[in-house]
Every structure is written in structure tokens, then in C-alpha cells.
Structure 1
Amino acid sequence: MMSHLFPTYSRWEIEPASAKGTKITAVDGKEYLDFTSGIGVCNLGHCHPHIEQAVTEQLKKFWHVSNLFPQSMQEKAAKLLADAAGLDLVFFANSGAEANEAALKLARKATNRSKIISFNNSFHGRTFGSMAVTGQDKIKNGFGPMLETFIHLPFNQVEAFLKEIDQNTAAVVLEVVQGEGGINVATSEFLKVIEKACKDNGTLLIIDEIQTGIGRTGKPFAFQHFDIKPDIITAAKGLGSGLPIGAVVGTAELQDAFGPGSHGSTFGGNPIAIAAAVATMEMIFTEQLLTETTAMGQYLYDQLVTTISKIDGVLDIRGMGLILGIEISGNVPEVLSSLRTKGLILLPAGEKVIRLLPPLTITEAEVNQAIGILESTLTNITSAAL
């Protein structure tokens, strides 16, 4: 049968019929352990009852009225998000790409500069602004000239960065953990140098927390592991537990740059998505859940190091909290396909990395189940290749 969808996705062989917690049940009845969380979206697992209740209650009130109306739930969501980030002001969008696009506009307008520095192997979205700031050629191929004044530098290399930043630089944009680029973690030295250089040059520091935010690393946001303070962060993915929402969070000093008419969105801050976001943050931004996330992240990492790192062809285990990567020498798509046949769904990250993004509510038993499938699959594929 002909599909009427543009073939922009290489789709898997699994069609979901239902999902709950860490499990997806396909239309053929087969059950899968989902270690993707919808690409870092369902941080509380699929169909969490607290989120379902909040969304259902809002559905019975109204679905959409536009941002011409004051909405108390938007204010509540903004306060929860700003307080968790240690910042002041929020603009709600519909996605991570939109949030990054808005952040770039905000930085240029606030500084009256145009130069933007980002880093190789980064990923910030697929709109023209977010694509221009992304440090991967494969995302840009075929789309013609990119926007000007975007500079891409080696990640975690201090000297190259210090040579490039100057008083014409509007912003530096970075991920603390490069998700799509291969689960590459920034060093503390690198982040501290960037923070100081930004302050010295009047440059804004933008941290993309779209994949690492909303508790994924055991803190509300990944930058909080490093005692630095950005001027702007962007969030999306896990913010709405599957309802489409993104956000720009910034300091109070940026208020005048985003005044009436400077930016907007028809659907940004939609009441249904906001209800999901409030319920999600109420669940995740608690000491108990963040402590449990830290513990489960450490448990998963330890199991990977103890069991998986010893397999031939496994080159590295890295990441933070519950965003982890297994670098292998083999064919990642082949490994992921084999894992799915055994009931475990995982993602790629870059060319050679298997990415693990389980929900923050994952249990030790589910970790052990995943480790068993990974061990048998990687061992068998390695043996077959010898």
C-alpha cells in the first residue's frame, strides 16, 4: 500500500498498539522494553496516571484560546521551570527546535550582535536557525547556504574556543552532553572557561537542555552538575511527557529584548501541553525522584561497565544519569535491529554509539533485563564477525 507520508523517517518494524511505563505492546501482541522514552520525552514512562489526570481535567475546560488571554497555568508552569533552572523568565514554544530558534533570536536582539559559536557534533534542531547552529554536516546537506555568522569549533577544546570568542560574539550555544552527536560529555574545565569568557566579552551563554533537562541527569538540568550559570537555557522533550511543548528560560535582564511583538507562537503554551508540563515538573522536580534517578543512573552505568564493557568490540561507556552511550566498533543499525527482535528498543547516537534513554522511573529488574539482552546480542554479533 502506498504511503501518503513523506519518507523522512526510516521507520522500524514495530507498530505500537499500547504503552505503559517502560513497556510498548505492538499490534501483533509482542511486548518490548522501551529504553528510548520516545527519544527522551516520556521521562515518567508511558501514560503516567498523574499526567493523564492533569491532561484530562484540562481537556474538559478548554483546549485552546491563544496567547492573547492571560492563563494562570502558564504562569504556574513558567515559575516551576524558572525556579528549577535558577532563572527568571520563560517563553513557551512547541518543540526543541522552536525553543532554540527563539533563543538565537533573543540573543541577537539582546546583544545587537550576530556571531554565534557552537560546537562540532552538536545537534540543535532542523529549522534554518537551529540547523545553522548544529555542528553536523549531514543535517544540512542539500539545503543550500546556511545562515551566516555561525561558527563551529571542536568540543572540549579550550584553546580553539578562546581564539574565536570576541566582543562581536552574541552567544555561545552548547549541550552539556551531546546527545545526537554521540553522548559526549563536556569537561568541567571547558564549561568554566566558556562561562568566564562569555562574561568577559558580554556574550550570552545558551545551554541546550532539550535532551538532558527535566531530571534526565539526576538534577533538573545537566548544567547544574558543574556550578555554572547560563543566561539562557532551552527545554522541550521531557517537559510535557509526550505533549508537544518547548521553552526558552532566561535571566530578567533579557526582558526588554522580548517585549510585545518581538516573538510569538499560535500554539506555544497550549493549555493541554501546559497541563502536562505542570504535572510533569511537579513529579520530577522533587528530591525523591531526582535522588532515585541518580541512583538508577549509577546502577545502569555500573552494570554496563561490569558486563557490557568486557565484550569484544565495545570501546567505551559514557554519559550522565540516565543518558548513557555504548560506543562499539560494529554496525550500530544491525545491533539495534537485533536488539528489537529480542524485545529491547534502543537508539543510535552518532555513527558508532548505542544510546540508552530509559524513563527515570526504571527499576533494577528492568535494567537487569536490558543488560541481559544487550550482553547476549553484542556477544553473538561480535562472535559472528570474527
Structure 2
Amino acid sequence: MSAQSQAPDEFAEAETSILRQPAPVWAVAFACVVAFMGLGLVDPILPAISAQLHASKAQTELLFTSYMLVTGCMMVFTGFISTRIGPKYTLLIGLLFITGFSFFAGRSASVGQIVGFRGGWGVGNAMFIATALSVIVSSARGSAASAVILYEAALGLGMSVGPLLGGTLGSHSWRYPFYGVATLMAIGFIAVLLFLRGVPKPTHRASILAPFQALRHLSLLTLGLTALFYNFGFFTLLGYAPYPLHMSAHGIGYTFFGWGVLLAITSVFIAPKLAEKFGVLHTMYGILALFAADLLVMGLGIHSQITLVICIIVAGAFLGVNNTLITTAVMQAAPVERPTASAAYSFVRFVGGAVAPWLAGKLSDAVGPAMPFYVGCIGVLVALGILFLGRNVLRHVNSSSH
């Protein structure tokens, strides 16, 4: 039986089992919603931070770069830490880091201070995100696909509500969204503390070297490199697009709210159906091509606000599908433990992709406002090429049953 013909079983099961989950899974999923709010919450205030703290676009984009770089590097250590102190305490420590550093970011007097605190935020983010995904996958009822869809739904919900809340709070002061993140993280901390029970400490202690050893598997390395170049498009859209919009914090917030809503809907409802019909890899080929075309149109229509708004919102549909499918593929790509696979994949995509937001700011100032979108488009096409070249080592991701 071909890989494509077996794909429907995995995703059909996912659709029927996603809502029948135990309390610990819902507790972590709620904390995920709150955690991903933190990423989108900052988006509407980037132009305000640039203006009020007298910083260039490239300097302000370092908020994303420091966050991603530290997150990626720390991913290597998450398995080592969580297998020694247990998933629950790893999640709680991660949430404490995010709460504290987001509060301090709101107290900052310069962009440099915010960049530094965002790095500390990245430490907590790495501990939380890698562990949360593995807890949901290991604790959820049903298949790995249903667990990943639940995780991506939390991601989408958080990233859709985040910009809306950030735009509302940011219209009063750029500091308020950071305080909002700190408050929401504290709520997430309480939810995990009270409701996450029955998740045992792993019997096997992971090595720090395990993620690097996992990258010897060409399937996992291929997905990591695909995500690295895909991130050039993703973070150009997320981190740079607020600048050429020339909108208020409210306007940016509403635009990215629409983007996040489509991301959430497609990640949960559309991605499984497309994978069922066309297979995981073929769906990803098409989605990456469409996202690259979307970025190209943004570059060509850089001076049309309505074009940019439509393209940003439509991109949410492409990103929702791709995020779900690539995360599902990572969980099935290599014969290694899921936390190790997640750490290895995240290390490659975050550390490599960290340069994308900073580069977008530099290109905008040095060449022109459209250039970041053209470079993002090229990055996504490179991701598509890597995925296609690695198709033979990824044939099994459609037929794995977890």
C-alpha cells in the first residue's frame, strides 16, 4: 500500500479523537495558548518601540532574533533537563522564566535591554515549548496526529488572540503588552501547577548529545533544514510586515488577528483533509509554493496597504496547514524519542532562522521596503527544494501509525 493511501487512517483518527482528552492535556494546551499569545502580542508594538526608543528596524527586529537564537540553543538542553527533573517541573520553570523576563522587558529603558530580556524569555520558551509538545503527544488519547493538531490549535488560538490583545494594550503604551504576557504566563503557571498530574518522570535520562545524534537521520535533518528556510518567510511576515503596513497598533493587531484566525482554523480542520486527499509531502509542496507566491505579491504590492493586509491574512491559511503537517512529520521522522526529535528539529530551525528578522530590517533600510519579502520568498522556495530533494527519506511519514 502506498504512503498516500495510508495517510487517511492517521488523520481520520485525529479528527474523531482530538476533543476527548484527559485534564493534564487540556492544562498544557491552555498554557500553550497563553505562551503563543506572547509571540503575537509583541507584533503590533514593533513600530512604536522603534519610534519611541529611537531604534532602527534592524535593532528592533533583534527582539525576534535574540528570542529565536536562545530558544534554539536551549532546545538542545531541554531533554537533558526534563528527563532529570520531570516534565511538570520543566514546564513550570519555563513559565517562570517567561513571566519574569516579559515583566522586565516592559520595564526596559532601551531596545538593547528589551533584546536581552527577550533572550531570557527564549530560555523559558525553549523549556516550555519542547516539553509541552512531548507531554501532549505522550498523554493525549488517540494518534500522534490528533495530539499535534491539538497542539497546533493551541498555537493558532494563541497567535490569533495575541495580536488583538497586543494592539489593544499597545495603543496605550508599548510596555503594556509585555505586562500582559507576564500576567497571562502567571495564569498558565497556575493551570499547569494545579492540573498537570500523572505525568511520570522519564525512566531514561537523555544525553545532551542526543539531539545532535538524532540529526544523523536524514529524514529529521531534511525537515529541520526545510523549516530553517521556511522561517525566513514566516518571520519576515511576522516580524517585518508591521512596518510597511503604516498602521496604528490597533490596525496591526486586527490584521494579524485575521491572520491568526485562519492559521488556527486551517491547522485543525483543513490540514488533515488535505493530507488525507493528497498526502503529507504533496500537500506541503503545494502550500510552500503558495506561501512563496504570497510573499512575492507582498513585495510587488509593497505600497498598497490593502494588498499587504489581504496577503498577510491569506498567509495564515498556508502557515496553519504547513505548521501542522511538518510537526506531525517530525514526530514520525526518525526512530528516536519524540522530545529528542523535537529538540533536534527546533535547534536547526530556530538557530538558523534567527537571522531572518534582523536581515529583513537591514535589507529594508539598505535596499528598500520590498526586498525582505523577496528574500523571504526565495527562502521558502529553497525550503520547497530541500523537501523535494529529501522526499525519498521521508516516504514513511505518511504511513506511520502512532
The structure that is strand-richer by fraction is 1
TM-score (norm 1): 0.24
The structure that is helix-richer by fraction is 2
TM-score (norm 2): 0.23
